[in-house]
Structure 1
Amino acid sequence: MHILILGGTTEARELAAALAAATLAERTGPRVTSSLAGRVAQPRLPAGEVRVGGFGGPAGLAAWLRAEGVDAVIDATHPFAGTISRNAAEAAAEVHVPLLALRRPSWVPVPGDRWHPVGSLDEAAALLPTLGSRIFLTTGRQGLAAFAALDGLFFLARSVDAPEPPMPAHTEVLLDRGPFTLDGERAVLREHRIDVLVTKDSGGAATAPKLTAARELGLPVVVVRRPEPPAGVPTVPDVPSALGWLAQL
């Protein structure tokens, strides 16, 4: 059996590691290939085979599935990686290969949170001038263009790799990679005098401490909602559930 994991997330690495461990213990098992988009210069590589780069749209992915004899696809990409998820749904349907989406649950506000849900980065940018002037932007290096016109605000933009223009005129870049600690997030907010946090609803524990730190300081948080997943694709919230789905195959 050949399993393709569309990866790049913690869950994708955990799934690949679990399948590799099972193969080692049983001295036999599936062939596992993890595919990474290649947007991070030095990604954390999962166990097993790894390919880096795009497929060339749904047609290219379908051709790759056929050529490599893939028997199952698990889409464990970031919740905001909408393009590859749509391509995977189309390609898997064309080739008649089972497809599963592995998605960590969304974050849920708790008492004390001052969340402002929005549907896009553009909506977030339009809202910011009404909320504060020193913004902690944690939406990734590819989304800064949406905020480029906000010359009157200060932005602390955190990303794994350095972002490219366009970006706001008053931007300080913080290069860092999660998981992040609560103490560390408290320090970032205080040292940079942040009064608004902007984040995508990526879910998971690795980047959640910033929400707790913002709650403690009473800061407003602009939360970009996730895009809708492709219709008809079964979804599970964690690695054990994905392993159960594979076992049923």
Structure 2
Amino acid sequence: MKHVLILGGTTEARQLAAALVELPGLRVTSSLAGRVAEPRLPAGEVRVGGFGGAAGLADWLREHGVHTLIDATHPFAQVISRNAAQAAASVHTPLLALRRPSWVPVPGDDWHPVESLAAAAELLPRLGRRALLTTGRLGLGEFAGVRGVHLVARSVEHPDPPLPPDLTVLLERGPFTLDGERAVFREHRIDLLVTKDSGGAATTPKLAVARELGLPVVVVQRPAAPEGVRVVGTVAEAVAALR
């Protein structure tokens, strides 16, 4: 049995695990960071928690006889992606990165690309007064200094401080619908959207609603994959690469 380790937590990671467990001769283990109290568990074996950096992950790969490592984490999970690249190289384990394609603006979009959450926070007061933040709970501290803008932050779990002083938290988990997003924008009188370029279809309705309403969208650009790592954009491509 060839052992495949998936660094997961994303929809694509769960889809990939479901596809791989159906292939003969594969043992599939998914690793979840453990930051969500009740995660959606993928098919196959599951481990939860960190590895202790690149060295710890390298030890785990060696100890458990991992044949192939697949980094299917969130496109903004830079630390684990960097650790995966270093660990795989150190123990000569093939590494594949599964990254959903970036979003691309279409006619009618008013996008304002920025390089970081800090840059997004600095830009907000110039663009709106009631902003929907869909950047994740772990980055809300970057907006703690924002003044003059009411922030509506969407999160799977309640965020930890530091938090912005003028904040409403919506505890919601995607995928989201067009009608649902329209209701959120209407109820909270949203005039500005802030998001990361996460890609994928599960959270695109918010972009469509912002386009419908002619609202500005601050888009935090995703970091590049570690140098030298092969990147595929779909689950089918990842399965084909393994075959």
TM-score normalised by the chain length of structure 1: 0.96
* Residue number in structure 1 paired with 2:122: 126
Aligned equivalents of 2:157, 2:136: Cα separation in 1 = 9
Judge conservation of contact 2:125–2:147 (CA < 8 Å) in 1.
no
1:44-63 map, 5 Å: 44-63=40-59
* Residue number in structure 2 paired with 1:183: 179
2:73 equivalent to 1:85: no
* Aligned-partner SS, 1:115: strand
Aligned equivalents of 2:151, 2:93: Cα separation in 1 = 44
Structure 2 residue ranges without an equivalent (≥5): none
For the aligned residue pairs, the C-alpha RMSD in angstroms reads: 0.7
1:1-249 map, 5 Å: 1-22=2-23, 28-247=24-243
Aligned residue type for 1:90: Q
Aligned equivalents of 2:230, 2:148: Cα separation in 1 = 45
Aligned residue type for 1:236: V
Aligned equivalents of 1:196, 1:151: Cα separation in 2 = 15
- 1:154 is displaced (CA, Å) by 0.5
Structure 1 residue ranges without an equivalent (≥5): 23-27
- 1:149 is displaced (CA, Å) by 1.1
Aligned equivalents of 1:219, 1:153: Cα separation in 2 = 15
- 1:129 is displaced (CA, Å) by 0.6
- 1:198 is displaced (CA, Å) by 0.2
1:129-184 CA-partner distances (Å, limit 9, x unpaired): 10011010000001111111113210110010100111111111000000000110
**Identical columns (%):** 72
TM-score normalised by the chain length of structure 2: 0.98
Question: How many residue pairs align between the two structures?
Answer: 242
1:217-248 CA-partner distances (Å, limit 9, x unpaired): 0000000000111000001000111111111x
